[in-house]
A and B are shown apart, each in its own frame.
Chain A
Amino acid sequence: MESKLSKLPVKCPSCQSGLSVQSLACQACDTVVNGRYDLPVLLMLEKEELEFVLRFVLNSGSLKEMSAEMGLSYPTIRNYLDDIITKLNTLENHES
């Protein structure tokens, strides 16, 4: 799958703990907002997994269409989706 998204760092390179957003900057006027914002669970997925979710939404959730588009079998596509669901559930449970 050709990647369109760059990888957002979600783990601390030093201690491997989860990262959070501390500041947001306006590209137009350089205003900086500081605070502590948790990353959405979806953004904690790997780059390829996020690409898959994006394709899934763009294909209106049709695994059959995704299968044809990606040149992979229906069970393979369904397995990818199942694995992402399992990962999202784990991340959500870890968050709460």
Chain B
Amino acid sequence: MKAEEKRKSLAGWLFNPFLFWGGEKLLLAGLLAMLLHIPMAMVFNIRFGGALDMHVGPQAPALPVILTDILIAWAIMFMVLYAAIRLFGKTARLIDIAGAVGVARIPLLLTSIPAYFTAPEIEAPEEVLALQGSELGWLIAGALLTLPFFIWFIVLLFNTYKVNSNLTGWKLGVGFVGALILAEIASLMLNSYFTGLMS
């Protein structure tokens, strides 16, 4: 069977470990990955504000902000993916999706490192337009370094959806893209609401 062959390959472990990794073990790994967001955010001044987001700031966010960010990013993503599976009349276990979403975020977590070292020192996002010379070069280098990790993150999310839904064709594509868009919008709205409460 194809899944058994992938179990023996590095590519299988990197891009679709959910074929052979699930249940309580995967959930535990996902929870550990989510907890790792806390030191990464503190050390590298990162905000994970949104289901698909990673932003470098001038200083580390406060702990309540970090906790709110990662809880929203994780919970919204796995709940929306679950809903997008049920929508097509398929069944799935929440435990598998929750664990897989946590593990899928590991590449996003890794983008923190190149992003921190290459991010320009700016106060407002629009200042990016005024960047020149080596600062602009570092920004482009940072974008090129983080892009493969971001693609890896999306591939893992896609495989989370594919393995747990067993959907094919247009339902797989539309369900996944729709879920990502919905998760991003919902997480940004919730982030904005809770950040407002905390400030």
A60 → B minimal CB distance (Å): 19
When each residue 55-73 of chain B gets 1 if its CB lies under 8 Å from chain A and 0 otherwise, what string results? Answer: 0000000000000000000
Contact B96 A75 (CB under 8 A): yes
B114 within 8 A of A: no
Which residues in B have their C-beta under 8 angstroms from that of A67? Answer: 22-23
| Stretch of B1-9, B130-138, B184-192 that contacts chain A | B1-9
Residues of B in contact with A, size category:
10 to 19
Q: How far is the CA of A44 from the CA of B86 in the complex (A)?
A: 31
Q: How many Å lie between the Cα of A1 and that of B1 in the bound state?
A: 7
A38-96 residues at the B interface, CB under 8 angstroms = 48, 67, 70-76, 78-80, 82-83
Interface of B is mostly: helix
Question: Which partner residue on chain A sits nearest B93 by CB separation?
Answer: A74
Which residues of chain A come closer than 8 Å to B22, judged between CB atoms? 67, 73-76
A79 to B91, CA, bound (A): 10
Residues in chain A near residue B1, CB distance under 8 A: 1, 48, 72, 80
Which of B7, B93, B166 is the one whose CB lies under 8 Å from A72?
A: B7
B20–A75 contact, CB under 8 A?
no
CA A78 – CA B23 in complex, angstroms?
13
B111 on interface, CB distance cutoff 8 Å? no
Please give the residue numbers on chain B whose beta carbons come within 8 Å of chain A beta carbons, in ascending order.
1, 3-4, 7, 18-23, 26, 91-93, 96, 163-164, 166
Interfacial residues, chain A to chain B (CB-CB below 8 A) = 1, 48, 67, 70-76, 78-80, 82-83
Mind listing 18 A-B residue pairs with CB under 8 Å? A1-B1, A67-B23, A71-B4, A71-B20, A72-B4, A73-B19, A73-B22, A73-B96, A73-B163, A74-B93, A74-B96, A75-B92, A75-B163, A75-B164, A76-B19, A76-B20, A76-B22, A82-B166
**Which are the 10 A-B pairs with shortest beta-carbon distances?**
A73-B22, A79-B166, A76-B19, A72-B20, A74-B22, A75-B164, A76-B3, A75-B163, A72-B3, A75-B96
